[in-house]
Structure 1
Amino acid sequence: MEGLDPGEDPAAWYSDRHGVAPGYSALLDALTRTPAERRAILHSLFEPTEEERDQGLKLPTAAHRAVAELVAAGFVKVVITTNFDRLMETALNDAGVVPTVISTADGVRGAAPLVHQRCVVLKVHGDYLDDRIMNTDAELASYDPAMSAYLDRVFDEFGLVVCGWSGEWDPALRAAVERCPSRRYATYWTGMGEPNQTVANLMQLRDARFIRIPGADEFMSDLRDKVISLEELASPGPLSVGAAVASVKRFVAEPRYRIRLDDLLGDEVKRAQNRHADGMRLDSDEVTTSTIRQRFHGYDASMEALAAMLFNAARWADPPHHDIVRRTIASLVPPDRAGGYDRWIEMQRYPAILAFYAACAGAMSSGKFALLKQLCDMKVRANGRSAVALPDLSAAYFNDNTARQLYDQALYTPLSRHLSRTLRPLVASADTVPERAFDRLEVMLALLNLERTEDPAKKAYLLLGMFSWRHEDPAYTEIFDEAGAAGDDWPPLRDGLFRGSAQRFERVRDGFLINLGAASHRR
């Protein structure tokens, strides 16, 4: 507009010339004089061309589609958005939901009561096809009283999941949150980094919980999978997870409660297995990426309480209770091979794998290395054959092709990734760096399995975990340094691991590094 050449960096040129960084509101003000002109500019930004459609551009994202599926399942009733586009409406229509879209004060006045609506999409800044869109600082300073009153009702009558809003550029929306008089329902605020001060203030007002997420697509997709899986497998038990864990801690405190601990864990195993029998039939459901993911998340949901109980039992239990932990895990292993789809038969082992890792993580968290070895040496009967828990219940022994269906791209050690994410809340309760703690566990499992080889330096099968591709400060160097510094006084050796010998551990360590190098070379 000024007839000048901005060079290769228009943003820097604008800042130098005008003394401020280029802002969305200021640029639109400079480029357009009327709402119609503004709409014409924005129209091309939102409407995909045929070429863009072929490339998957300007179409609903995984986050849009996950929210739409939650709406279709009845878990979400109101979607508030500051966006002008129609991606949310498109995703809802694709999911079989026809929403009531409110984008103006007139729309608010003519809307039916919320109680009679299946889904409302509230577009507080308007729709890009309507000249009344609001996107300049002056326009966003306040809303029409009808829109403000509608927001007040939504914020008062519903819980909130906030995703993708910084709270910085929407003073009218921010004011609506601040006006909310009650905290009757929970608020969860998500973000990829630490919340800014504005968000922190709003969270304090709403008594909100902050959740760090990798991105909207991942978070919403994961939320959808878990919520729907919980609904499918809903079967109320006598105790919440917190109450069950509290009972475990009370029962392991004294040997006289040994029978009660056994009954508590046994009852939870039966509840989980009943859910699996009802919702995880071996001869039902077409085997697809979607159904595999649903089954993983279904198992995770049904095992949430038991995994927490086993983690804490292994963490706090004394030797008189150790056999109860072992028996509980062994009871989850399918003893005989049944008929059905091969993929579902294979996935039957997953609850036992999850339980095994939960207990091993608990033992590691409190330095109970003798129990860790007992868990690894535990005999189980799996699919009609005798086996040993390690390696049979290791993530490395699980079919990678099945576990990779959890992700949208081929990844190394996919089940290890999933177990780390699933057990993270438990591990985080005992370790400030849960990812590191999980890596240390996988290193120790690999070392213990290798120790069974008479000469570990020879070619042997190394149980690979996430440590195998973390090249910067890997967890195994930390363990090796600790062992080298402590010598025979290293706690795992004192508990009888590696035959209680520093010399034997050094041979296993050397074999680990040799086989790890060979595995890395094959990749």
Structure 2
Amino acid sequence: MITPLPTTGADRFFSDLVDRLASLRALDRPHPLSVHAAVASLKRYIAEDRHRIRLHDLLVDAVDDARARWSKSGVSLTDPQPTNASIPERMNAYDASLETLIALGLELGRWGRPEHARLVTEVLARLSRRDPVRGSTYNLWSDLWPYPATAVFYAVGLGALEADNFELLGTVAAAQMPTDRGETVRVVERLVPTLLVRDKSNLRALFNSDHYTPLSDWLSQLFRPLVAPHAIENDYFDSFAPLFDRFEILLAVAYRAFDRGERGWAPPGCWAWRHENHQKIQGQLKGELGDLGQNAPLMRTGWFSSNDQAQKALDEIYAFASRLNFY
């Protein structure tokens, strides 16, 4: 026998349900069940090469869906004017539209192989492609246009780092992708957060305060509940911040590996102001080079032909960080 809900309980239940559906519609998020179904499909397709066309179509369809969602939310290069309200609204609209793609990216990073890097790069290129625009555009909106590709790149990278999948991480970071000017650059030279918006004061509205690395901080906030839902921020046993900082340090090392300039600059991330994490991770990477040689994570990325080259890049990052004065 089914016991009917009391009237007040039923009213509250349906009222809450309506509110939740309204919230989903407001940000135009994909339904959670559709996200789970997409992830389940990816796991099936990625296991066997005979499903490579289905895997490709799954990801391309997810890109098209994300672009349609953020466009429907009013995201464009021409309006509205960037303000303290519209900047976080735009970022939230991007994140909501990317929910499926980020979930797919995390799993692709965990289970993908180096040969999947080409597919990942196609996804990143499709996400960052600009549609033709008539008239003038706002500089900040133009700078942030590749952000969805950056978020998915982080999803793949964090998933790969979690799974010790340095071969895929290294291949994706080093892959070539197009720019708006028709040139090609490496993914790590195009999508690292610091490279998107050079003037961090333009992003003050994200947190209503000045941050050294506002876009990295935003991404850290986005991925924490997805990657380590039970980790407590600023807790001694927090497992997420060291993982996130290790990933961003690896991106800085990759940038130095491919930048032949003598300035020693590298894109700072959260590690640049989380000094204890930075020093610990730097020591771990050096120790791995000494103990594991060619099997060290940095060598497995394919960015270096010798341990000495990898060591030099690490030293450059350490020297650069000491000049930042992020205290």
TM-score, structure 2 length as denominator?
0.83
Alignment CA distance shift 1:385-1:518 (3 Å)? farther
Matches within 5 A, 1:373-388: 373-386=170-183, 387-388=185-186
One-letter code aligned to 2:240: P
One-letter code aligned to 1:392: R
Residues in 2 aligned to 1:303 and 1:275: alpha-carbon distance in whole angstroms: 9
- Aligned residue in 2 for 1:242: 36
Matched, 1:446 2:236: no
Select which of 437, 446, 451 maps to 2:243: 437
Q: C-alpha displacement at 1:304, in angstroms?
A: 0.9
Residues in 2 aligned to 1:485 and 1:372: alpha-carbon distance in whole angstroms: 21
Alignment CA distance shift 1:416-1:238 (3 Å)? closer
- Size of the aligned set, in residue pairs, is 307
- Determine if contact 2:116/2:168 at 8 Å carries over to the other structure: no
Select which of 283, 297, 301 maps to 2:96: 301
Residues in 2 aligned to 1:439 and 1:297: alpha-carbon distance in whole angstroms: 23
Q: C-alpha displacement at 1:473, in angstroms?
A: 4.2
One-letter code aligned to 1:421: Q
- Aligned residue in 1 for 2:109: 314
Residues in 2 aligned to 1:430 and 1:385: alpha-carbon distance in whole angstroms: 43
Q: C-alpha displacement at 1:424, in angstroms?
A: 1.9
- Determine if contact 1:396/1:464 at 8 Å carries over to the other structure: yes
Alignment CA distance shift 1:347-1:460 (3 Å)? same
Alignment RMSD: 3.1
Once the two structures are superposed, what CA deviation does each residue of 1:33-64 show, in whole Å capped at 9, x if it has no partner? xxxxxxxxxxxxxxxxxxxxxxxxxxxxxxxx
Matched, 1:289 2:93: no
One-letter code aligned to 1:434: F
Q: C-alpha displacement at 1:496, in angstroms?
A: 2.6
- Determine if contact 2:282/2:314 at 8 Å carries over to the other structure: no
The unaligned stretches of length 5 or more in structure 1 are 1-151, 160-183, 187-223
Residues in 2 aligned to 1:371 and 1:307: alpha-carbon distance in whole angstroms: 17
The unaligned stretches of length 5 or more in structure 2 are 1-5, 232-237
One-letter code aligned to 1:284: D
Residues in 2 aligned to 1:291 and 1:447: alpha-carbon distance in whole angstroms: 34
Residues in 2 aligned to 1:285 and 1:450: alpha-carbon distance in whole angstroms: 37
- Determine if contact 1:251/1:260 at 8 Å carries over to the other structure: yes
- Determine if contact 1:229/1:298 at 8 Å carries over to the other structure: no
Q: C-alpha displacement at 1:236, in angstroms?
A: 5.3
Select which of 161, 164, 172 maps to 1:364: 161
| Larger strand proportion of the pair | 1
Percentage identity across paired residues of the two chains: 31
Alignment CA distance shift 1:440-1:228 (3 Å)? farther
Q: C-alpha displacement at 1:357, in angstroms?
A: 1.1
Matched, 1:405 2:205: yes
SS in 1 for 2:178: strand
Matches within 5 A, 1:346-365: 346-365=143-162
- Determine if contact 1:230/1:302 at 8 Å carries over to the other structure: no
One-letter code aligned to 2:69: R
- Aligned residue in 1 for 2:3: none
Select which of 312, 315, 325 maps to 1:510: 315
One-letter code aligned to 2:94: Y
- Determine if contact 1:292/1:402 at 8 Å carries over to the other structure: no
- Determine if contact 1:369/1:497 at 8 Å carries over to the other structure: no
Q: C-alpha displacement at 1:272, in angstroms?
A: 0.9
One-letter code aligned to 1:448: A
- Aligned residue in 2 for 1:468: 272
Alignment CA distance shift 1:318-1:388 (3 Å)? closer
- Aligned residue in 2 for 1:256: 50
SS in 2 for 1:411: coil
Alignment CA distance shift 1:337-1:268 (3 Å)? same
Larger RCO of the pair (alpha carbons < 8 Å, separation 6+): 2
Once the two structures are superposed, what CA deviation does each residue of 1:86-140 show, in whole Å capped at 9, x if it has no partner? xxxxxxxxxxxxxxxxxxxxxxxxxxxxxxxxxxxxxxxxxxxxxxxxxxxxxxx
- Determine if contact 1:314/1:325 at 8 Å carries over to the other structure: no
Q: C-alpha displacement at 1:430, in angstroms?
A: 12
SS in 2 for 1:289: coil
- Determine if contact 2:170/2:300 at 8 Å carries over to the other structure: no
Q: C-alpha displacement at 1:261, in angstroms?
A: 0.6
Once the two structures are superposed, what CA deviation does each residue of 1:176-204 show, in whole Å capped at 9, x if it has no partner? xxxxxxxx979xxxxxxxxxxxxxxxxxx
Q: C-alpha displacement at 1:266, in angstroms?
A: 0.6
Alignment CA distance shift 1:356-1:347 (3 Å)? same
SS in 2 for 1:380: strand
- Aligned residue in 2 for 1:105: none
Alignment CA distance shift 1:268-1:237 (3 Å)? farther
* Bigger Cα displacement from structure 2, 360-369 vs 434-443: 360-369
Q: C-alpha displacement at 1:366, in angstroms?
A: 1.7
Matches within 5 A, 1:111-510: 157-158=11-12, 230-234=24-28, 240-279=34-73, 280-335=75-130, 338=133, 339-386=136-183, 387-399=185-197, 400-428=200-228, 433-454=239-260, 458-474=262-278, 475-499=281-305, 501-510=306-315
SS in 1 for 2:128: coil
Residues in 2 aligned to 1:320 and 1:345: alpha-carbon distance in whole angstroms: 31
- Determine if contact 1:459/1:515 at 8 Å carries over to the other structure: no
- Determine if contact 1:377/1:388 at 8 Å carries over to the other structure: yes
- Determine if contact 1:251/1:257 at 8 Å carries over to the other structure: yes
Once the two structures are superposed, what CA deviation does each residue of 1:380-409 show, in whole Å capped at 9, x if it has no partner? 222224232212200111222343311021
- Determine if contact 2:216/2:269 at 8 Å carries over to the other structure: yes
Residues in 1 aligned to 2:144 and 2:21: alpha-carbon distance in whole angstroms: 20
